[in-house]
Amino acid sequence: MLIRAGFDIDFECEIDTPMMAMLSVHPSRNRDLQTPHRLILNPEIPIYDYLDHFGNVCTRLTIPAGGASLSCDFTIADSGAVDRRPPDVGQMPVSELPDDVLVYLLGSRYCETDRLQDTAWSHFGHVSGGRARVEAIVDFVHHHIAFGYQHARPDKTAWNAYQERVGVCRDFAHLAIAMCRCMNIPARYCTGYLGDIGIPPIDAPMDFSAWFDVYLDGEWYQYDARHNRPRIGRILMARGRDATDTALTTAFGRADLVRFEVHTDEIEG
Protein backbone atom coordinates (compact mmCIF):
# COMPACT_ATOMS: atom_id res chain seq x y z
CA MET A 1 0.00 0.00 0.00
CA LEU A 2 1.14 3.56 -0.71
CA ILE A 3 0.25 6.39 1.64
CA ARG A 4 0.62 10.05 0.89
CA ALA A 5 1.01 12.11 4.02
CA GLY A 6 2.18 15.47 5.22
CA PHE A 7 1.16 18.68 6.92
CA ASP A 8 0.89 22.46 6.67
CA ILE A 9 1.60 24.34 9.88
CA ASP A 10 1.84 28.09 10.42
CA PHE A 11 3.26 29.83 13.45
CA GLU A 12 3.06 33.46 14.40
CA CYS A 13 5.36 35.09 16.92
CA GLU A 14 6.44 38.59 17.88
CA ILE A 15 10.14 37.93 18.32
CA ASP A 16 12.56 35.34 16.99
CA THR A 17 11.59 32.13 18.76
CA PRO A 18 13.83 29.06 18.94
CA MET A 19 12.01 25.81 18.34
CA MET A 20 12.67 22.09 18.44
CA ALA A 21 10.42 20.12 16.08
CA MET A 22 9.79 16.40 15.67
CA LEU A 23 7.95 16.61 12.38
CA SER A 24 9.90 13.96 10.48
CA VAL A 25 9.11 10.34 9.89
CA HIS A 26 10.91 8.11 12.40
CA PRO A 27 14.18 6.62 11.01
CA SER A 28 12.71 3.12 11.34
CA ARG A 29 10.47 4.03 8.38
CA ASN A 30 13.21 5.66 6.28
CA ARG A 31 13.51 2.74 3.91
CA ASP A 32 9.80 2.85 3.13
CA LEU A 33 9.98 6.40 1.78
CA GLN A 34 9.15 6.56 -1.93
CA THR A 35 9.94 10.27 -2.21
CA PRO A 36 12.43 12.36 -0.21
CA HIS A 37 10.98 13.59 3.10
CA ARG A 38 11.75 17.29 3.18
CA LEU A 39 10.57 19.99 5.52
CA ILE A 40 9.75 23.10 3.48
CA LEU A 41 9.95 26.45 5.26
CA ASN A 42 8.59 29.78 4.23
CA PRO A 43 10.51 32.04 4.57
CA GLU A 44 13.46 29.73 3.87
CA ILE A 45 15.22 29.87 7.24
CA PRO A 46 18.20 27.67 8.21
CA ILE A 47 17.28 24.37 9.88
CA TYR A 48 19.11 21.19 10.72
CA ASP A 49 18.34 17.79 12.19
CA TYR A 50 19.86 15.77 15.00
CA LEU A 51 18.90 12.49 16.61
CA ASP A 52 17.82 12.47 20.24
CA HIS A 53 18.71 9.52 22.44
CA PHE A 54 15.44 7.77 21.64
CA GLY A 55 16.45 7.78 17.96
CA ASN A 56 13.95 10.44 16.89
CA VAL A 57 14.78 13.09 14.32
CA CYS A 58 14.72 16.53 15.98
CA THR A 59 14.79 19.64 13.82
CA ARG A 60 16.21 22.87 15.20
CA LEU A 61 15.07 26.17 13.84
CA THR A 62 14.23 29.69 14.92
CA ILE A 63 10.83 31.03 13.86
CA PRO A 64 11.55 34.61 12.78
CA ALA A 65 9.58 37.54 14.20
CA GLY A 66 6.32 37.61 12.27
CA GLY A 67 6.10 33.89 11.83
CA ALA A 68 6.77 31.08 9.41
CA SER A 69 5.07 28.16 7.78
CA LEU A 70 6.33 24.59 7.78
CA SER A 71 5.07 22.00 5.36
CA CYS A 72 5.80 18.53 4.19
CA ASP A 73 4.35 16.09 1.68
CA PHE A 74 5.67 12.63 0.96
CA THR A 75 4.74 9.14 -0.21
CA ILE A 76 5.56 6.10 1.86
CA ALA A 77 5.10 2.35 1.37
CA ASP A 78 3.18 0.46 4.04
CA SER A 79 2.42 -3.22 4.55
CA GLY A 80 -1.27 -2.44 4.70
CA ALA A 81 -1.59 -4.92 7.55
CA VAL A 82 -3.39 -4.16 10.82
CA ASP A 83 -1.39 -3.89 14.07
CA ARG A 84 0.23 -7.24 14.87
CA ARG A 85 -0.74 -8.96 18.08
CA PRO A 86 1.73 -10.81 20.34
CA PRO A 87 1.46 -14.56 21.02
CA ASP A 88 -0.59 -15.55 24.01
CA VAL A 89 2.28 -16.39 26.30
CA GLY A 90 3.29 -15.54 29.86
CA GLN A 91 4.66 -12.11 30.72
CA MET A 92 8.46 -11.82 30.57
CA PRO A 93 10.02 -11.63 34.03
CA VAL A 94 11.85 -8.34 34.61
CA SER A 95 15.11 -10.26 34.96
CA GLU A 96 14.82 -11.35 31.33
CA LEU A 97 14.09 -7.95 29.83
CA PRO A 98 16.89 -6.43 27.74
CA ASP A 99 18.86 -3.66 29.41
CA ASP A 100 17.68 -0.93 27.11
CA VAL A 101 13.96 -1.46 27.72
CA LEU A 102 14.19 -1.08 31.51
CA VAL A 103 13.84 2.69 31.21
CA TYR A 104 10.30 2.10 29.94
CA LEU A 105 9.35 0.64 33.33
CA LEU A 106 10.18 3.88 35.14
CA GLY A 107 7.87 6.79 35.83
CA SER A 108 7.93 9.89 33.65
CA ARG A 109 6.40 13.36 33.51
CA TYR A 110 2.93 12.27 32.46
CA CYS A 111 3.01 8.68 33.71
CA GLU A 112 3.18 8.67 37.51
CA THR A 113 3.75 4.99 38.17
CA ASP A 114 4.31 5.69 41.86
CA ARG A 115 0.79 7.08 42.27
CA LEU A 116 -0.97 4.46 40.16
CA GLN A 117 0.79 1.35 41.48
CA ASP A 118 -1.91 0.18 43.89
CA THR A 119 -4.73 0.90 41.47
CA ALA A 120 -3.02 -1.01 38.69
CA TRP A 121 -2.36 -4.06 40.85
CA SER A 122 -5.88 -4.14 42.20
CA HIS A 123 -7.32 -4.06 38.68
CA PHE A 124 -4.87 -6.22 36.78
CA GLY A 125 -2.95 -8.27 39.35
CA HIS A 126 -5.21 -11.26 38.83
CA VAL A 127 -4.93 -11.28 35.02
CA SER A 128 -2.35 -13.80 33.92
CA GLY A 129 -0.24 -13.53 30.78
CA GLY A 130 1.41 -10.50 29.26
CA ARG A 131 -0.88 -10.00 26.29
CA ALA A 132 -4.01 -10.59 28.37
CA ARG A 133 -2.87 -7.98 30.89
CA VAL A 134 -2.12 -5.40 28.25
CA GLU A 135 -5.46 -5.95 26.58
CA ALA A 136 -7.26 -5.73 29.92
CA ILE A 137 -5.51 -2.42 30.54
CA VAL A 138 -6.36 -1.09 27.08
CA ASP A 139 -10.00 -2.10 27.51
CA PHE A 140 -10.17 -0.55 30.93
CA VAL A 141 -8.64 2.75 29.80
CA HIS A 142 -10.78 2.84 26.67
CA HIS A 143 -13.93 2.66 28.77
CA HIS A 144 -12.70 4.65 31.76
CA ILE A 145 -11.96 7.84 29.81
CA ALA A 146 -14.49 9.73 27.71
CA PHE A 147 -12.97 11.35 24.62
CA GLY A 148 -13.34 15.06 23.97
CA TYR A 149 -11.04 17.68 22.47
CA GLN A 150 -12.29 20.22 24.99
CA HIS A 151 -10.62 18.14 27.73
CA ALA A 152 -7.09 18.52 26.36
CA ARG A 153 -4.60 20.43 28.45
CA PRO A 154 -0.81 20.41 28.28
CA ASP A 155 -0.09 19.48 31.90
CA LYS A 156 -2.58 16.65 32.16
CA THR A 157 -1.05 13.43 33.44
CA ALA A 158 -2.13 9.79 33.61
CA TRP A 159 -3.13 10.34 37.23
CA ASN A 160 -5.26 13.35 36.26
CA ALA A 161 -6.86 11.42 33.41
CA TYR A 162 -7.61 8.52 35.75
CA GLN A 163 -9.37 10.84 38.16
CA GLU A 164 -11.06 13.21 35.70
CA ARG A 165 -12.18 10.43 33.31
CA VAL A 166 -12.05 12.69 30.27
CA GLY A 167 -9.30 13.32 27.78
CA VAL A 168 -7.81 13.06 24.31
CA CYS A 169 -5.74 10.34 22.62
CA ARG A 170 -2.63 11.45 24.47
CA ASP A 171 -4.35 10.92 27.82
CA PHE A 172 -5.56 7.45 26.83
CA ALA A 173 -1.99 6.58 25.93
CA HIS A 174 -0.50 8.00 29.13
CA LEU A 175 -2.87 6.15 31.42
CA ALA A 176 -2.42 2.84 29.62
CA ILE A 177 1.36 3.27 29.60
CA ALA A 178 1.48 4.08 33.31
CA MET A 179 -0.58 1.01 34.14
CA CYS A 180 1.52 -1.29 31.96
CA ARG A 181 4.67 -0.04 33.68
CA CYS A 182 3.10 -0.58 37.11
CA MET A 183 2.57 -4.21 36.06
CA ASN A 184 6.24 -4.46 34.99
CA ILE A 185 5.43 -4.38 31.28
CA PRO A 186 7.66 -1.90 29.43
CA ALA A 187 5.61 0.70 27.56
CA ARG A 188 6.53 3.73 25.47
CA TYR A 189 4.62 6.61 23.92
CA CYS A 190 4.31 6.96 20.12
CA THR A 191 3.15 9.78 17.93
CA GLY A 192 2.59 9.86 14.20
CA TYR A 193 0.21 9.85 11.28
CA LEU A 194 -2.88 7.64 11.39
CA GLY A 195 -5.37 8.05 8.56
CA ASP A 196 -8.86 6.61 8.24
CA ILE A 197 -7.64 3.62 6.28
CA GLY A 198 -9.74 0.47 6.58
CA ILE A 199 -12.36 2.20 8.71
CA PRO A 200 -15.44 4.28 7.82
CA PRO A 201 -14.53 7.88 6.99
CA ILE A 202 -14.55 10.18 10.00
CA ASP A 203 -16.06 13.61 9.82
CA ALA A 204 -13.41 15.48 11.79
CA PRO A 205 -10.29 17.38 10.83
CA MET A 206 -7.26 15.12 10.49
CA ASP A 207 -4.73 15.35 13.32
CA PHE A 208 -1.59 13.54 14.35
CA SER A 209 -2.32 10.58 16.60
CA ALA A 210 -0.87 9.09 19.81
CA TRP A 211 -0.62 5.39 20.60
CA PHE A 212 1.82 3.24 22.54
CA ASP A 213 4.19 0.29 22.31
CA VAL A 214 4.43 -2.55 24.82
CA TYR A 215 7.31 -4.97 25.08
CA LEU A 216 6.01 -8.52 25.18
CA ASP A 217 7.73 -11.80 24.37
CA GLY A 218 10.86 -10.06 23.14
CA GLU A 219 9.32 -7.50 20.77
CA TRP A 220 7.48 -4.21 20.73
CA TYR A 221 3.78 -4.31 19.79
CA GLN A 222 1.47 -1.36 19.04
CA TYR A 223 -1.69 -0.73 21.05
CA ASP A 224 -4.14 2.13 20.95
CA ALA A 225 -6.35 2.73 23.98
CA ARG A 226 -8.22 5.53 22.23
CA HIS A 227 -9.50 3.36 19.39
CA ASN A 228 -9.15 -0.04 21.08
CA ARG A 229 -8.83 -1.92 17.81
CA PRO A 230 -6.01 -2.88 15.48
CA ARG A 231 -5.52 -0.28 12.77
CA ILE A 232 -3.86 0.04 9.37
CA GLY A 233 -1.30 2.59 8.31
CA ARG A 234 0.36 4.03 11.40
CA ILE A 235 3.36 6.12 10.32
CA LEU A 236 5.57 6.65 13.35
CA MET A 237 7.17 10.06 13.83
CA ALA A 238 8.60 9.90 17.37
CA ARG A 239 8.57 7.72 20.45
CA GLY A 240 9.78 8.18 23.99
CA ARG A 241 8.88 7.90 27.65
CA ASP A 242 5.79 10.08 27.20
CA ALA A 243 4.49 13.15 25.36
CA THR A 244 7.33 15.26 26.78
CA ASP A 245 9.83 13.43 24.60
CA THR A 246 7.76 13.45 21.43
CA ALA A 247 6.17 16.89 21.25
CA LEU A 248 5.74 17.80 17.59
CA THR A 249 7.02 21.27 18.31
CA THR A 250 8.51 22.76 21.47
CA ALA A 251 8.85 26.54 21.34
CA PHE A 252 11.26 28.25 23.72
CA GLY A 253 9.19 31.40 23.97
CA ARG A 254 5.75 32.20 22.64
CA ALA A 255 4.72 31.03 19.17
CA ASP A 256 1.05 30.81 18.22
CA LEU A 257 -0.10 27.97 16.04
CA VAL A 258 -2.43 29.65 13.55
CA ARG A 259 -2.84 26.90 10.99
CA PHE A 260 -2.58 23.17 11.41
CA GLU A 261 -3.51 20.76 8.65
CA VAL A 262 -2.50 17.13 8.40
CA HIS A 263 -3.19 14.72 5.55
CA THR A 264 -2.76 10.94 5.37
CA ASP A 265 -4.41 9.07 2.52
CA GLU A 266 -4.02 5.83 0.70
CA ILE A 267 -3.10 6.44 -2.92
CA GLU A 268 -2.86 4.33 -6.05
CA GLY A 269 0.53 2.65 -6.49
Listed in sequence order, the DSSP H helices in the chain are 113-124, 130-144, 158-164, 169-182
257 near a copy of itself (CB under 8 A): no
One of 4, 85, 115, 144 touching a copy of itself (CB under 8 A): 115
Sequence-ordered list of residues with C-beta below 8 angstroms from that of 33, at least 6 positions apart, any chain: 25, 74, 75, 76, 77
245 near a copy of itself (CB under 8 A): yes
One of 22, 112, 160, 176 touching a copy of itself (CB under 8 A): 112
Site string for a copy of itself, 146-165 (x = CB under 8 A): --------xx----------
The alpha carbons of the chain give a radius of gyration, in whole angstroms, of 19
Sequence-ordered list of residues with C-beta below 8 angstroms from that of 191, at least 6 positions apart, any chain: 22, 208, 209, 210, 236, 237, 238, 239, 243, 246, 248
For residues 48 and 202, which CB has a smaller minimum distance to a copy of itself in the complex?
A: 48
66 near a copy of itself (CB under 8 A): no
Following CA atoms 186, 190, 196, 202 in sequence, which dihedral angle do they give, to the nearest 10 degrees?
100
101 near a copy of itself (CB under 8 A): no
210 near a copy of itself (CB under 8 A): no
What does each C-alpha distance from 193 to 56, 66, 188, 206 come to in angstroms? 15, 28, 17, 9
One of 184, 222, 228, 249 touching a copy of itself (CB under 8 A): 184
Q: Which stretch binds a copy of itself (CB under 8 A): 64-72, 105-113, 165-173, 194-202?
A: 105-113
269 near a copy of itself (CB under 8 A): no
For residues 107 and 192, which CB has a smaller minimum distance to a copy of itself in the complex?
A: 107
Determine whether 201 is exposed, middle or buried from the number of CB atoms within 10 Å of its CB (0-12, 13-18, 19+).
exposed
- Partners of 20 in beta bridges: 60, 250
Q: Which residues bind a copy of itself (CB under 8 A)?
A: 18, 20, 27, 30-31, 33-38, 41, 44, 46-53, 58, 60, 62, 93-96, 99-100, 102-103, 105-109, 111-112, 114-115, 154-155, 184, 244-245, 250, 252-253
